[in-house]
Amino acid sequence: MKVTGAWIERGATQAVCRMLTDAGHQALFVGGCVRNALLGVEVADIDIATDARPETVARLAGDAGLKPVPTGIDHGTVTVVSDGLPHEVTTFRKDVETFGRHATVVFSCDVTEDARRRDFTMNALYARPDGTVIDPLGGLADLRARRVRFIENPEDRIREDYLRILRFFRFHAWYGQGGLDPQGLAACAALAEGVEGLSKERLGAETLKLLAAPDPVPAVAAMHESGVLGRVLPGACDRLLAPLVHLEASIDAAPDPIRRLAALGGEGVAERLRLSKAQARVLARLRAGMDGDAPPAELGYREGYEAGRDIVLLRAARAGEAVAKAALDDLALGARARFPLTAADLMPALNGPALGRRLDALERRWIASRFALGRDDLLR
């Protein structure tokens, strides 16, 4: 079996491979690029595994006129830039001692040893520069079955890095089909407490990637049942997620992780996931709008069409109702509307707090008219 695609045939990428193979070393594509190519999914990042030591990789790259960047040289990784494209080249490794992410590793010349230190079998697939697939641990069968399975003992893999619990659910959401692997799920449940020791940045990144999947419902439901969701987001519940995803599809709304995060609820979400200030503001507005009673036209005016639509979706999911076309039309109407008055129109007759109160009252009257009243109508 071979993988194909423009990414592997690209001259810049083949130049990195030749840099290694011409010197007698192995050059094997590994991980996401091989997995995605086999699934027919776009390949973004290119990782190459080799038996060459990192200092050798850096020297060979320089000799070949490529740019070596020691991004993780202590762990065996050199980023080789070829024609402006980065390629992460990492020496085969094997673990000799693990304690969370701070594993003691030694370099290896054996691709099977390198494969055994990865997380899931579908990520332990390699390919030669000509695309020929190498499958040291039976990952092809799991990939064909769309089964996310830990390599060897799931609890051992998780103890090496507790982030793998969240990756298990995220990978199932993106690449899995059917039920989650029972052994993997049981291991995640047994070791769920471990996620509490992860950094907020890593929790946030994995959670948002999970919620960005086309349909994260089965994975998030399993997270909830296994107790993992409560460890990540205390007080969160997946009850509204399935109806929300269904409603999104009904109106062709693209997946949005912040909208879905609002549906999950939970305590201190923005801080626990270390959301950006912009993300935190959006989340707060969605949750406030979800609990408010402003009609769609007003939502469109005050929040804009997209944010208003997200609030309508969340309300409909909670109510168990469809999203009416009339509601979307009202959102669009409100989003186009522009209040015809400014403070200057009421001055100098009014100023200070009285001016603000009068302007607010007129704005409410204008909204109640479905934006029909003009400037002269309001001033009268």
The per-residue pLDDT for range 241-281, each reduced to its tens digit, is: 999 999 999 999 999 999 999 999 999 999 999 999 999 99
Q: State the pLDDT at residue 108.
A: 82
Nearest to 201 by CA among 307, 86, 117, 279: 279
Residue with tokens 């494209």: 85
pLDDT tens readout for residues 275-312: 999 999 999 999 999 999 999 999 999 999 999 999 99
pTM: 0.90
Under DSSP, the state recorded for 132 is B
As a whole number of Å, the end-to-end CA separation of the chain is: 78
Tens digits of per-residue pLDDT, 102-120? 555 688 888 999 999 899 9
- C-alpha distance from residue 303 to each of 136, 274, 285, 295, 317 (Å): 53, 24, 9, 12, 19
- Going from the C-alpha of 334 to that of each of 181, 306, 339, 357, the distances in angstroms are 47, 12, 10, 22
Closest to 49 in 3D by CA, of 28, 72, 80, 34? 28
Beta strand 104-107 pairing with 93-97: antiparallel
pLDDT in tens, 35-89: 999 999 999 999 999 999 999 999 999 999 999 999 888 889 999 999 999 999 9
CATH number of 1-145: 3.30.460.10
> What is the spatial distance between Cα 89 and Cα 28, in angstroms, rounded to a whole number?
9
Residues pairing with 171 in the sheet: none
Tokens of 223: 């997270």
pLDDT in tens, 140-172: 999 999 999 999 999 999 999 999 999 999 999
More confident residue, 203 or 117: 203
- Helix (H) / strand (E) containing 155: helix 154-160
Per-domain residue ranges of the chain: 1-145, 340-379
At a CB cut-off of 8 Å and minimum separation 6, what does 249 contact?
Answer: none
Dist. CA 22–CA 61, nearest whole Å: 12
